[in-house]
Amino acid sequence: MASDTLDATFAALADPTRRAILARLATGDATVTELAAPFAMSQPAVSKHLRVLERAGLVSRSRDAQRRPCRLVAEPLRTATDWLADYRDYWETSYQRLDTLLGDLQNGEK
């Protein structure tokens, strides 16, 4: 994956409002009005967040008569998760070494 795409994904995820929008879209498509409802912000402010999510490839919009529903696009999230998985493996290995060391120290005290 290109570094700039990964950067855009993490930049979009850095904001709690955008994460909340993605969580809502994970339950199904929604309009800007529906997405703005739980927030103390205007629809234009939510639209700005949606544009950031669209540029990151995390959201797409379609047209259904006069509705313009937003839809979650999960592929960039999978790519970010795959990238993070390498670090998860690193930390799991580190924790296993720490567990072994602690076990050795506890056995030495007995």
In the chain the first and final C-alpha atoms are separated, in Å, by 51
| CA proximity to 44, closest of 36, 34, 54, 52 | 36
Q: Give residues with Cβ within 8 angstroms of 10, minimum separation 6.
A: 80
- pLDDT the model gives residue 54: 96
Q: What is the pLDDT of residues 37-67, one digit of tens each?
A: 999 889 999 999 999 999 999 999 988 777 8
26: Cα separation from own chain's centroid: 11
Place of tokens 């544009």: 51
DSSP code per residue over 12-39: HHTSHHHHHHHHHHTTS-B-HHHHHTTS
7 residue type, one letter: D
- pLDDT the model gives residue 2: 65
- pLDDT the model gives residue 1: 45
Q: Across residues 82-100, what is the average pLDDT? A: 89
